[in-house]
């Protein structure tokens, strides 16, 4: 007899004012919210059963996000749209459901397929010329290599080149005192560019004369996707 359950994929938005929540705290909050929905969800077996959840990518602490994708298994068929609405009402302030959809229960895990992310970096631009930022971005794009020293807990530092893993950089918008930079970069189990590493690289090409004006106000993860031969495959199609 076939399993009547479903695999529901949903997308969570994390507002800037709750961005300092850790992944473990986020997992606990989400688990409680899912239980409050009353939907018959599938748990693992053993002495300490837990919800069968699958995350696309762990969110670094301090990042706002529009693209926290999660898969959950149910014991019986449910309406994905209705499930998303009920879950949205169960979440605390600062968290909301963007979308929910049924996906292939036998499909690959999100973590194994997602390999790219899109970020928005919001910088303070007081008393500085936007052309300086545009020139710095052109220098980042034209650089032959972008080497940094990556430090890791309980492991020796190592030198890596971010250039092959930085796919797109551009100015998204600018105001009187802010500039928004869009950056697409590798994200996932194969290779992951940390947002602070991109910030470190960009600062190399900005004039020292800007001084304290170079301040990153917010990093916002806008999207996760699979990059394959320069094509962007959305999470909902994986």
Q: Which residues contact 10 (CB under 8 A, 6 or more apart)?
A: 69, 70, 72, 83, 84, 87, 97, 98, 99, 100, 101
Give just the sign of the alpha carbon dihedral 207, 141, 59, 122: positive
Is the confidence at residue 1, as pLDDT, over 50? Answer: no
CA distances from 26 to 33, 61, 67, 95, 130 (A): 10, 10, 14, 10, 37
The pTM is what? 0.91
So what's the pLDDT on residue 127? 64
Domains of the chain: 7-112 (3.30.70.580), 115-228 (3.30.70.3190)
For residues 40 and 136, give the distance between their C-alpha atoms in angstroms, rounded to a whole number: 52
* pLDDT the model gives residue 196: 93
Taking the CA atoms of the chain, what radius of gyration do you get in angstroms? Answer: 20
Residues 6+ apart with CB under 8 A from 238: 103, 107, 108, 110, 113, 114, 226
pLDDT computed for residue 9 by the predictor: 95
**∠ CA(29), CA(35), CA(40), 5° rounding?**
145
- Give 29-32's long-range contacts (Cβ < 8 A, gap of 24+): 29/91, 29/92, 29/95, 30/70, 30/91
Determine the Cα–Cα distance for residues 122 and 60; give it in Å rounded to an integer. Answer: 16
Other residues' Cβ atoms within 10 Å of the Cβ of residue 151 = 9
What proportion of the chain, given as a percentage, has pLDDT over 70? Answer: 96
8 A C-beta contact, residue 117 and residue 224: yes
pLDDT in tens, 94-142: 999 999 999 988 888 888 899 999 999 999 876 667 888 899 999 999 9
Give pLDDT, residue 212: 63
**Can you tell me the distance from the alpha carbon of 200 to that of 169, in angstroms, rounded to the nearest whole number?**
14
Cβ neighbours of 218 (radius 10 Å)? 15
Run of H or E residues at 233: strand 231-234
The stretch 56-77 carries a mean pLDDT of: 93
- Residue of 10, 11, 13 lying closest to 94 (CA atoms): 13
Per-residue pLDDT band for 187 (boundaries 50, 70, 90) equals very high
Q: What is the mean pLDDT of residues 22-44?
A: 92
What does DSSP say about strands 64-73 and 178-186: parallel, antiparallel, or unpaired? Answer: unpaired
Instruction: DSSP letter for 94, please.
Output: T
pLDDT score of 131: 86
**pLDDT class for 211, splitting at 50, 70, 90?**
low
Confidence of residue 190 (pLDDT cuts 50, 70, 90): confident
What pLDDT does residue 19 have? 96
Which of 90, 51, 55, 94 has the alpha carbon at shortest distance from 74?
51
């Amino acid at each position: 007899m076939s399993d009547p359950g479903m695999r529901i994929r949903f997308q969570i938005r994390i507002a800037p004012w709750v961005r300092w929540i850790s992944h473990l705290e986020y997992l606990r909050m989400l688990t409680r919210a899912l239980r409050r929905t009353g939907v018959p969800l599938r748990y693992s077996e053993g002495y300490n059963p837990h919800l069968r959840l699958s995350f696309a990518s762990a969110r670094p602490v301090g990042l706002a996000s529009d693209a926290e994708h999660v898969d959950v298994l149910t014991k019986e068929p449910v309406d994905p749209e209705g499930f998303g609405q009920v879950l949205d009402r169960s979440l605390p302030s600062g968290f909301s459901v963007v979308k929910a959809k049924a996906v292939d229960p036998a499909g690959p895990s999100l973590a194994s397929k997602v390999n790219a992310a899109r970020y928005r970096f919001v910088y303070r631009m007081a008393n500085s010329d936007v052309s300086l930022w545009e020139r710095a971005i052109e220098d980042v794009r034209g650089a032959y290599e972008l080497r940094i020293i990556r430090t890791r807990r309980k492991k020796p530092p190592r030198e890596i080149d971010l250039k092959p893993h930085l796919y797109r950089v551009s100015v998204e918008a600018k105001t009187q005192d802010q500039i928004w930079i869009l950056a697409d970069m590798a994200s996932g189990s194969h290779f992951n560019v940390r947002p602070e590493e991109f910030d470190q690289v960009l600062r190399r090409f900005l004039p020292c004369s800007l001084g304290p004006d170079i301040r990153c106000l917010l990093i916002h993860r806008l999207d996760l996707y699979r990059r394959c031969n320069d094509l962007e495959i959305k999470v909902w199609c994986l």
